[in-house]
């Protein structure tokens, strides 16, 4: 039965990887393989001899001798455990996504346009790379990429030039997301899974991540596409730079409340999603107050219609990427099925025997994340490695999975969204940008090993 479960997982994973060829959204194979994997476990529960206790991070002794009811009860408990852990991540993401959409509702990101006044391509490159690096550490690399490419389209008219800028934005955004607990889904998973703490994650990774962004940007600044000044630039009008009364206020409030979440967790020791819900409540309150100031109270019915139609919270919730949320749910619960049967635990032991050097294993994980989605790779690593809180291997996994995806345009959410927004082809990115991303990844990896050596003597 284990063989059938692995086959289902591999086929589902393959369907996710080639979603663009199949023309099927990746959430479909993700949720389907999750359901089928757990159904196969339920049907063959009596045949399994090993079971992994996620709470104790060890195989359960004499599981094969348990009777049918005991095994079913343990399966239900395990399923509930994984559902709870997955829900923590999903509700955290939902809260963060909603705050970002509320900021966008008030056109808060237009504030960044005020900082872009130069015509020099080299200066623009450093401005966009720096903004991508910083912004992605707060609102995640996917959203940062969307915001910056949207701004890019307003100030650069030439498509080829925009594609080059977009390629470097992808590298910078993925690098920026790696060192922050709220900057990338995979890093958030490790943080919520109590594998890394905010202070040590920043200590280990801010330097390597900065190098991962800076070296490709430095090299690119000497290349022909970034030489000279912009031609036929699009002038930004005043109303485009600051469209609404509360743009800046909502931007700083929203980003500030997202940054407050790690502080809340440190003070209260509550799971991060609790702090995110508090932050969401504060942002929503101000959003509703600012929104109602725009409307005049006429009749009670008319006012009710206006509130229902113009509520920024309702609008923002309707824009949430639910397919992405369901994809994460399916992937995390499918990987949990493999973990529960002890398959990942045994695979990790075999891998450590075949490749004793864990650094090589983690770097291969980074290369793998360029080919296939990094979310299931990190989810699998959570089941493979049993190292404790703030063990350096978790920080290296966060870096590799976060930045390795930049080597191919399909290797990260930031790359995929840029591919769609600018119609960048796979092979154009591979020829022009991939080698820069590889240099950044290698430089960052070496920097991480150096930082680890200094911290551990």
Residue range 270-275: average pLDDT?
Answer: 90
Q: Are 280 and 99 in contact (CB under 8 A)?
A: yes
Answer for the pair 405, 177: CB distance below 8 angstroms, yes or no. Answer: no
Confirm if 365 and 402 have CB atoms less than 8 A apart. no
Q: With pLDDT > 70 as the criterion, what percentage of the chain qualifies? A: 91
Report d(CA 314, CA 249) in Å as an integer: 20
Distance CA 226, CA 446 (A): 27
Q: What is the mean pLDDT of residues 343-364?
A: 80
Check pLDDT > 60 for residue 318.
yes
Non-local (6+) Cβ contacts of 420 within 8 A are none
Q: What's the pLDDT at 340?
A: 87
pLDDT, tens only, 423-452: 888 889 999 999 999 999 999 999 999 999
Looking from the CA of 221 toward its CB, the CA atoms found within 13 Å total 15
Between CA 394 and CA 190 the distance in angstroms is 7
Cβ neighbourhood burial of 143 (10 Å; 0-12, 13-18, 19+): buried
**Is 221 or 418 the better-scoring residue by pLDDT?**
221
Residues 6+ apart with CB under 8 A from 406: 170, 171, 174, 175, 370, 412, 414, 415, 437, 440, 441
Band of the pLDDT at 244, cuts 50, 70, 90?
low
Angstrom distance (rounded) from CA 256 to CA 248:
12
Q: What are phi and psi of 79, to 5 degrees?
A: -60, -40
| Beta strand 58-59 pairing with 52-53 | antiparallel
Residue 435's pLDDT is 95
What is the reported pLDDT for 242? 44
Of 30 and 36, the structure prediction assigns the larger pLDDT to 36
Sequence ranges of the domains in the chain: 2-455
As a whole number of angstroms, the distance between CA 456 and CA 220 comes to: 34
Tell which wins on pLDDT, 428 or 230: 428
Position 228 scores a pLDDT of: 83
Task: Give residue 296's pLDDT.
Answer: 42
**pLDDT value at residue 24:** 83
Contact present, 102 and 280 (Cβ < 8 Å): no
pTM higher than the cut 0.85: no
Where does 106-158 have alpha helices with state H?
A: 121-139, 141-155
């Amino acid at each position: 039965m284990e063989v059938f479960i692995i086959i289902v997982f591999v086929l589902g994973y393959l369907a996710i990887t080639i979603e663009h060829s199949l023309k099927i959204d990746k959430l479909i194979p993700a949720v389907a393989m999750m359901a089928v994997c757990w159904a196969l476990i339920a049907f063959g529960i009596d045949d399994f001899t090993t079971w992994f206790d996620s709470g104790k991070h060890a195989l359960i002794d004499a599981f094969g001798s348990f009777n049918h009811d005991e095994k079913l009860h343990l399966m239900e408990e395990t399923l509930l455990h994984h559902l709870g852990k997955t829900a923590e991540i999903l509700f955290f993401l939902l809260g963060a996504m909603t705050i970002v959409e509320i900021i966008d509702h008030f056109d808060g990101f237009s504030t960044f346009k005020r900082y872009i006044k130069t015509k020099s391509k080299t200066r623009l490159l450093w401005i966009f790379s720096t903004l991508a690096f910083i912004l992605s550490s707060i609102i995640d690399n996917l959203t940062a990429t969307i915001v910056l490419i949207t701004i890019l389209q307003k100030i650069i008219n030439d498509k080829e030039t925009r594609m080059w800028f977009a390629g470097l934005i992808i590298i910078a955004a993925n690098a920026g997301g790696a060192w922050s607990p709220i900057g990338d889904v995979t890093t958030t998973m490790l943080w919520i899974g109590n594998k890394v703490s905010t202070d040590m994650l920043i200590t280990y990774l801010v330097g390597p991540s900065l190098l991962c962004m800076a070296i490709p940007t430095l090299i690119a600044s000497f290349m022909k596409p970034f030489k000279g000044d912009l031609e036929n630039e699009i002038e930004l009008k005043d109303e485009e730079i600051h469209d609404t009364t509360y743009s800046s206020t909502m931007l700083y409030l929203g980003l500030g409340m997202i940054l407050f979440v790690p502080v809340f967790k440190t003070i209260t020791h509550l799971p991060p999603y609790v702090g995110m819900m508090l932050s969401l409540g504060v942002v929503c309150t101000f959003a509703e107050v600012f929104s109602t100031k725009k409307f005049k109270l006429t009749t009670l019915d008319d006012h009710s219609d206006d509130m229902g139609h113009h509520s920024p919270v309702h609008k923002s919730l309707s824009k949430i990427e639910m397919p992405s949320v369901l994809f994460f749910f399916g992937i995390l619960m499918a990987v949990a099925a493999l973990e529960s049967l002890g398959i990942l635990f045994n695979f990790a032991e075999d891998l450590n025997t075949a490749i004793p050097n864990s650094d090589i294993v983690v770097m291969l994980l980074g290369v793998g994340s360029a080919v296939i989605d990094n979310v299931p790779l990190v989810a699998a690593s959570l089941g493979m490695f049993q190292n404790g809180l703030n063990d350096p291997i978790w920080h290296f996994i966060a870096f590799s999975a976060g930045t390795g995806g930049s080597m191919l345009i399909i290797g990260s959410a930031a790359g995929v969204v840029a591919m769609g927004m600018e119609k960048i082809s796979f092979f154009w990115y591979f020829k022009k940008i991939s080698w820069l991303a590889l240099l950044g990844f290698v430089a960052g990896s070496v920097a991480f090993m150096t930082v680890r050596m200094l911290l551990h003597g």
